[in-house]
Amino acid sequence: MYSIYFPPRPSLAEFVDCICIMGHDFSCNDNLSPFYTYMPTHTRLLCFYLEDSVKVKKGDGEFENHGRAVIIGPQLTPVTLDLGKKHSNLLVLFKPCGLYRLLGIPLCQMLDCDFDAQLIIGKEITEITERLMEAKSCDAKNGIIQLYLLSKLNEYQPPLPIDLAMSQMVSSCGKMYMDLLAAKSCLSVRQLERQSLQRIGLPPKYFAKMVRFSVAYKFKESNPKASWTEIAH
């Protein structure tokens, strides 16, 4: 399996964390399973599936087909993915408030949901998906998506101090006190709650817990022999 990360263009750096392109041919006999449990994370995503379609199962339900371009809102529960035999995807990983600034939709309305991106963004996303599927290299795919995001700059929601404050929360691995977060956001704690629900989709305390969990789970994936007790400490 390969994963390639590209930094955002300077004009996109306040919205986008990075572009990730990854893939694997599961038809090769290498003991890797196409079934993957996707755990909740603090990161908001725009996903493009460029080879086999991806199926998703929530809880005890049945597997359902994903679209080619999918917007993933704030997640609270794990889901199981069937990545198919030949998997390739491109992920736009947004800064904490970046997806809200692109869509202008309160993220609390997207809680634990994923959406066909065409239904939210429009038919232009279908053209971008087709161009990504036709691109011959990861560099070319990165260029296509970054130019598309640059073309949307005039449509982004205006920045607020909470946007930078939430990015600093992520940089601190979720270890920032709420009073300090509110001060950095130039808000009262109650105002912080309201703006966080709109721009993040979660209350700020819950978002901080999600950041800490994401850090711990990533460490566990990199260090499978470490016990959860050791990680918690």
Distances 177 to 15, 28, 53 between C-alpha atoms, Å: 24, 48, 42
Is 60's pLDDT higher than 90?
Answer: no
Paired tokens of 36: 């993957």
Note the Cα 46 to chain centre separation in Å: 6
Report the pLDDT value the prediction gives residue 226, as an integer from 0 to 100. 85
Greatest Cα pair distance, the chain, in angstroms, is: 56
Report the pLDDT value the prediction gives residue 159, as an integer from 0 to 100. 94
Question: pLDDT tens across 69-89, in order?
Answer: 999 989 888 999 999 899 999
Is 233's pLDDT higher than 80?
Answer: no
The pLDDT-based confidence of 216 (bands split at 50, 70, 90) is confident
- Locate the DSSP E strands across the chain: 2-6, 16-25, 35-38, 44-49, 55-58, 64-65, 69-72, 79-82, 86-94, 114-116
The pLDDT-based confidence of 215 (bands split at 50, 70, 90) is confident
Handedness of CA 69, 75, 79, 83 (dihedral sign): positive
* DSSP code for 1: -
**Mean pLDDT, residues 160-174:** 95
Is 140's pLDDT higher than 80?
Answer: yes
What's the alpha-carbon Rg for the chain, to the nearest Å?
18
Report the pLDDT value the prediction gives residue 116, as an integer from 0 to 100. 92
Is 161's pLDDT higher than 90?
Answer: yes
Report the pLDDT value the prediction gives residue 192, as an integer from 0 to 100. 97
Is pTM beyond 0.95? Reply is: no
Paired tokens of 226: 């470490």
Report the pLDDT value the prediction gives residue 231, as an integer from 0 to 100. 81
Residue with tokens 């629900």: 197
Is 91's pLDDT higher than 90?
Answer: yes
Question: pLDDT tens across 14-52, in order?
Answer: 999 999 999 998 888 677 888 988 888 899 999 999 999
Report the pLDDT value the prediction gives residue 47, as an integer from 0 to 100. 95
Is 96's pLDDT higher than 80?
Answer: yes
